[in-house]
Amino acid sequence: MDDTISLILHGCKLAKDLELNLANSASQPETLSKLCEEIIRVFANARERLHVHQLGTTLYPHPVLFREPQDLQQQQNTDPILQEWLGTSCTSAMETLFHQTQGVMAERSALGLIESKIGGGIQMGSGGLAIESGSRSDVQAGDASDSGRGSSSSEKRPRTRINDDAEKRTVRVPAQQFGNTEIPPEDGFSWRKYGQKEILGSRFPRAYYRCTNQNLYNCPAKKQVQRLDDDPCRLEVVYRGEHTCHMSATAPSAPPPAPGITQEMAQTMIGQPQPSAATSLGRWVEFRLGPGGGAGSSSSSSSSSSMAAGSSGSAAGPSTAGRFGKEADYPITDMADAMFNSGSSSTNSMELIFPSISEEKRDQPSDKNN
């Protein structure tokens, strides 16, 4: 039995090594594959042995054998670091990676679309999974502290800022074709919008979201959503930080949906795979002009489709319906113009889509947010 324990510990060490070197090996799928295989082999071997032991136990119950769990614990206690990792890091990292991968895979399979920006990122499958991982060092740690809260107005708000070393994953997803096209596709997590900013050189504003459970569970996960300049029908979503909230048994956050549900959801939202810009716009216009299709019905449908998609949280998927519902009142022809002339420099599409913003920019050219 001792050698079985050793085997398990060996597997754990291998997994830990893999985690530590994940950033380096991320661009080497072959290496990753080999490492994973070895880990699987080790654990499979251990399971075989345990299975044999189990059979022996049931057939020949023996006090010594019943003590084995304790022995296991004792053995694990000899390596507290490893045990800590088993309780936190390993499961956290693995689960997060799994969920993210699963989510994107589901999206990808449903949409048949997502492109990779490839920057030393994790690539899976021949088609190129759309996870771009900055994977430079670690998840930003200080960010969750959000230290600004509670400070008096006279004090300077100490702020932490995401450093560039923070893990960063970029995915490009089709914008919703009906309702609020600014809403990023549901990804199984619950997000809360905390800012929006005009980005220099981009025609579309960038929205900032953080995990709804940030305050409760110090979940550091964040994401930025921005419509692509060269393809207004798609959104670029940048994920930063890892979700820790769903690790808690009592966490109210939505656990990542089952793959099937995600696919259904994605199909519900997107309708059909890989639409052209014209198709997308057509559907959007059709919805907007449809029977009884006022701004109100737009927003409600948009949010209900998001909710029906299996998101359990109240804010799963940013419900920007109110604000963008109003903005959607702008002439559809203008929106169409913006979409179709996405490449033209003669027309300022931002102005057409967000006239108020553009006006503000004209009035205060320095920085409307500064």
Closest by CA to 351, choosing from 331, 321, 322, is: 331
Provide the minimum distance between the beta carbon of 254 and DNA in the complex, in angstroms, as a whole number.
Answer: 11
The yes or no reply on residue 194 touching DNA (CB under 7 A) is yes
Burial of 109 (0-12, 13-18, 19+ CB in 10 A): middle
**Shortest distance in whole angstroms from residue 288 CB to DNA:** 18
Cα–Cα distance, 341 to 160 (Å, whole number): 39
Burial class (CB in 10 A: 0-12, 13-18, 19+), 177: buried
Query: In the Cβ-directed half-sphere of 220, how many Cα atoms lie within 13 Å?
Result: 20
Give the H or E element holding residue 105.
Answer: helix 89-111
Q: How far is the CB of 366 from DNA (least distance, A)?
A: 7
Footprint (CB under 7 A) of DNA, residues 272-331:
299-300, 303, 313-315, 318-325
Distance between CA 162 and CA 8 in Å, rounded? 37
Contact (Cβ atoms closer than 8 angstroms) between residue 214 and residue 313 = no
* Bridging pattern class, strands 234-240 and 191-197: unpaired
Candidate residues 146, 229, 231, 264; the one interacting with DNA per rule CB under 7 A: 146
Segment 219 to 238, residues that bind DNA, using CB under 7 A: 222, 224
* Using rule CB under 7 A, residue 212 touches DNA: yes
Q: How far is the CB of 297 from DNA (least distance, A)?
A: 12
- Asked whether position 367 contacts DNA by CB under 7 A, the answer is yes
Q: Which of 189, 208, 239, 284 binds DNA (CB under 7 A)?
A: 208
How many residues bind DNA (CB under 7 A)? The answer is 55
How big is the chain by its Cα radius of gyration, in Å?
24
Shortest distance, position 230 Cβ to DNA, whole Å: 16
Minimum CB distance to DNA smaller for 201 or for 292: 201
In this chain, which of 143, 186, 236, 242 binds DNA, going by CB under 7 A?
143
197 binds DNA, rule: CB under 7 A? yes
The values of phi and psi at residue 291, to 5°, are -55, 125
Residues that bind DNA (CB under 7 A): 143, 146-151, 153, 156-164, 190-201, 206, 208, 210, 212, 222, 224, 299-300, 303, 313-315, 318-325, 360, 366-370
